[in-house]
Structure 1
Amino acid sequence: MALVDGPMRRPSGSNAVYAELLRRILHEELPPGERLHEAALSADLGVSRTPYREAVRLLMAEGLLEQLPTGGVVVRGVSARDIEELYAVRAALEGLMTASAATVAGQADRTRLESLLDRNARLVDLPQQAGEAGHDIHLALAEIAGNSWARRLHAQVDVQMARYRRYTNETQERREAALAEHRGIVAAVTAADAAAARARAEAHVLAAREVALASIARRLGA
Structure 2
Amino acid sequence: MLEKPARNTGAHVVYAELKRQILTLELKPGERIYEPAMAAALQVSRTPLREAIRRLISENLLEQQPTGGVLVPILDEAVISELYEVRAAMESLMARNACLKAAPEDIDALRSILARNAALVEFADDAMEQGMALHATIARIAGNSWALRFHEQISNQMERYRHFTNSTQQRRDEALEQHRDLVDAIASGNPDAAAGMAFDHVLGARDAAVRALSGKNGAGA
Instruction: Flag whether TM exceeds 0.5 (same fold).
Output: yes
1:62 and 1:132 mapped to 2: Cα distance?
A: 23
Correspondence for 2:93: 96
Is there any run of 5+ residues in structure 2 with no aligned partner, and where? 1-6
Correspondence for 1:6: none
Quote how far apart the aligned CAs of 1:137 are: 0.5
Quote how far apart the aligned CAs of 1:68 are: 0.4
Q: Please give the per-residue CA displacement for 1:124-167, whole angstroms capped at 9, x wherever unaligned.
A: 11111111110111111111101111111111110111111000
Aligned length: 213
Quote how far apart the aligned CAs of 1:84 are: 0.9
Correspondence for 1:69: 66
Quote how far apart the aligned CAs of 1:16 are: 2.1
SS in 1 for 2:47: helix
Q: How high is the sequence identity, in percent, across the aligned residues?
A: 49
Residue 63 of structure 2 corresponds to residue 81 of structure 1: no
SS in 2 for 1:76: coil
Correspondence for 1:144: 141
Quote how far apart the aligned CAs of 1:12 are: 2.3
SS in 1 for 2:71: strand
Quote how far apart the aligned CAs of 1:69 are: 0.4
Map 1:14-163; keep pairs closer than 5 Å.
14-163=11-160
Cα RMSD after superposing both structures: 1.2
Is there any run of 5+ residues in structure 1 with no aligned partner, and where? 1-9
Bigger Rg, structure 1 or 2: 2
Correspondence for 2:183: 186
Q: Please give the per-residue CA displacement for 1:89-115, whole angstroms capped at 9, x wherever unaligned.
A: 010000000110011000111111111
Q: Please give the per-residue CA displacement for 1:1-28, whole angstroms capped at 9, x wherever unaligned.
A: xxxxxxxxx9422232122112211222
2:169 and 2:182 mapped to 1: Cα distance?
A: 20
Q: Relative contact order (alpha carbons < 8 A, sep ≥ 6): 1 or 2 greater?
A: 1
With structure 2 as the length reference, what TM-score do the two structures score? Answer: 0.93
Runs of 4+ deviating beyond 6 Å: none
1:12 and 1:96 mapped to 2: Cα distance?
A: 36
2:208 and 2:217 mapped to 1: Cα distance?
A: 14
Correspondence for 1:217: 214
